[in-house]
Structure formats: structure tokens, C-alpha cells
Amino acid sequence: MKILLIGYGKMGQTIAALAAARGHEIAGIVDLHATQLSIGDFTPAQVDVAIEFTHPDSAFDNVMACLRQGIPVVCGSTGWLHHFEEAQQLAAEVGGSLFYASNYSVGVNLFFHFNEYLAAKMHQFGGYDVAVREIHHTQKIDQPSGTALTAAEAIIRHFPSKTTWRNAPAETPAELAVISERAGDVVGTHIVTYSSAVDRLELTHEAHSREGFAVGALLAAEWLPGRVGVFGMKELLDL
């Protein structure tokens, strides 16, 4: 498989190394600091799929450029989802392929799956308040993280007493607190805590390295070509 890497930071470099180990070819790299190439320099005849990990300010434009070029794109950048509907519309118009996940770790997506189940059960039995906490390295710009937002939105869907989230301690019972911390080189830790007068229950995912994210992105890139539409990890993992 021929892969176009869009972004060559820590994730891009990890993906490149793993792609080679899995027998894939990096057909090109588009990166503001590493190359002078643009997405428009590549066509579906040259690359099978693009993998995009960049910056919230550039991710949407990169995704749209791939769709217009007819290149299936796997996007892992967060912080641009206020434009997601536009990307969905373009994918439908051009018959394109877009795979998006806020987190490509298989473990994290199982965390998402159990988070939904747990929220529904905890609300059913009552007596608990819930909060989300996420910890990342100091270079992560967006907060809350996309993973924390995905978890928070699922809690709101399944725990009806929470109607909105707040990136700070909750000020009303209807608010879901989503606390963001930035420290050192922490890869990514997400904790959902249910507290009552008698006990506390926590669902935690702690990433030890970026390799898990890179493996998931490559799995998505291997799965996407030949499909038309907008997909995510639920489809890939059949959750």
C-alpha cells in the first residue's frame, strides 16, 4: 500500500516506521516544516490512502483537499470538528472516503464502548455524580482532548441528568466537568469517575506510547481504500 503522510511530527514519524515494518511504502510526505510538497501534488494513481495528523488549524483544509483529489483520507487531528459536517457533505458529493477518530488506539475505543455502557447503568441505579479528567503532554494544544470530548458526549447521551459539559469544575448539577491537565511528556490518560456517598468507580485508559495510536491509524488506512463514505473506529472494530 502506498501512503501519503500529511504531518511529520511525532505521530507521523511513528506511523512511517510502523508502515515500513508492515510492508507499506511512504509515497510522499506533506509537512510545513519538512517538505515543500502539497496535497495537490499527489493523485490516486500515486497513493492509495493519506494519513493526516497535523494541527487543528490545518486539519480541515487537509481533509477537504484529499477528498477533492480523490484520495481516501484517515484523519487523526482533533480540534476541527465544528467543520465535520462540511467534510461529510463533500465526501458525499464527490463519492469520497473519510475515516475519522479522535483516538486510534484499539484500547481507547474499547474504553469508549464500555464508557457508554457504564454511563447508562450508573444513571439507571442513581446516586452517582460523574466527571471526566484527561492528562496530556504540554505540547498538546487543544483542550479538552478529542478523546475526552468523545467520552463526555457519550456520557451526556446515556446519563440524562448531565445536559452539557464544561472544561472546568461543574458549577451546576447538570454540567459534566471535563478537567484538562498538561504535564511533561504524558502520552494520554483519560479517567471517567463515578462518585457517590458510599463508593467511587473509575474507568481509566492510560497510553504508554504513541505506537498504539499509530497501529490503529494504519489498520484504518489498510481498511479504508475501496470504501465510500465516512467511517470511524466502530465500523473498523465492529463495536
Hey, where are the domains in the chain?
Answer: 2-100+211-237, 106-207
Contact 189, 137 (CB under 8 A): no
From 136, 158, 162, 190, the catalytic residue: 136
Reply yes or no on whether 208 is catalytic. no
Which amino acid, residue 13? Answer: Q
β-sheet with 188-195: strand ranges across: 164-166, 175-182, 129-136, 188-195, 200-207
pLDDT at 210: 82
What pLDDT does residue 190 have? Answer: 96
Per-residue model confidence (pLDDT) at position 33 = 82
**Domain 106-207 is of which CATH architecture?**
2-Layer Sandwich (3.30)
Decide if 78 contacts 109 (C-beta within 8 A): no
pLDDT value at residue 194: 98
What is the per-residue pLDDT for 192?
Answer: 98
Cell of 60: 480541515
Q: What 3-state DSSP class applies to 34?
A: coil
CA–chain centroid gap for 108, Å, is 10
Q: Is 220 helix (H, G, I), strand (E, B) or coil?
A: helix
Whether 190 is catalytic is no
Exactly one of 2, 10, 140, 190 is catalytic; which is it?
140
Using left for φ > 0, alpha for ψ between -120 and 50, and beta otherwise, residue 238 falls in left
C-alpha cell, 67:
477528498
pLDDT in tens, the chain (239 residues): 999 999 999 899 999 999 999 999 999 999 988 778 999 999 999 999 999 999 999 999 999 999 999 999 999 998 899 999 999 999 999 999 999 998 899 999 999 999 999 999 999 998 999 999 999 999 888 889 988 999 999 999 999 999 999 999 999 999 999 999 999 989 899 999 999 999 999 999 999 988 888 999 999 999 999 999 999 999 999 98
Q: Which CATH superfamily is domain 2-100+211-237 in?
A: NAD(P)-binding Rossmann-like Domain (3.40.50.720)
Q: What is the pLDDT, as a whole number, of residue 32?
A: 85
β-strand partners of 97: 229
